[in-house]
Amino acid sequence: DQQVKQNSPSLSVQEGRISILNCDYTNSMFDYFLWYKKYPAEGPTFLISISSIKDKNEDGRFTVFLNKSAKHLSLHIVPSQPGDSAVYFCAASGGSNYKLTFGKGTLLTVNP
C-alpha cells in the first residue's frame, strides 16, 4: 500500500517557467512533509519541508503548499533553472514513530 504517491514519473519545463511537482498521501497520521532532490550518482539532499500546522512554506525559489483536506502537497519552483533538473522525492512522517515514507520520485527536466 503506497502511502505517499507521486503520480507523475517525469516533468519537462522550459527554463524560466514554473515547475509544479505534486504529491498525494493517504495516511491521515502524517503531519510533516519534506521534499528531497537527487542528482544521479549522489545521495538525496534536503530541499524544503512543511508542518501540517501550515499551508505554505517558502525558501527562495522553492515553495511548498499543503492542502490537508485533499491530502495533497505541491512543490513550486519559480523560475526554473537547468540546474534544477533532478529527481524530486516527496516524503512524509507522523504518528508516534520516526519513520520516513518516500514517494517514488518525479524526474524534472528543465530545458534551456
Partner 1 sequence: EAQVTQNPRYLITVTGKKLTVTCSQNMNHEYMSWYRQDPGLGLRQIYYSMNVEVTDKGDVPEGYKVSRKEKRNFPLILESPSPNQTSLYFCASSPFSLALNEQFFGPGTRLTVL
Beta bridge partners, 32, equal 51, 93
Contact 76, 23 (CB under 8 A): no
Tell me which residue of 31, 37, 51, 28 sits closest to 90, measured CA to CA.
Answer: 37
Does residue 49 touch partner 1 according to CB under 8 A?
yes
Tell me which residue of 45, 76, 72, 74 sits closest to 59, measured CA to CA.
Answer: 76
Name the segment binding partner 1 (CB under 8 A); options: 16-24, 57-65, 69-77, 91-99.
91-99
Does residue 103 touch partner 1 according to CB under 8 A?
yes
Does residue 102 touch partner 1 according to CB under 8 A?
yes
Does residue 39 touch partner 1 according to CB under 8 A?
no
**72/104 with CB nearer partner 1:** 104
One residue of 19, 44, 66, 84 binding partner 1 per CB under 8 A: 44
Q: Are strands 56-59 and 62-67 parallel, antiparallel or unpaired?
A: antiparallel
For binding to partner 1 (CB under 8 A), which residues are involved? 6, 32, 34, 41-46, 49, 89, 91, 93, 97-105
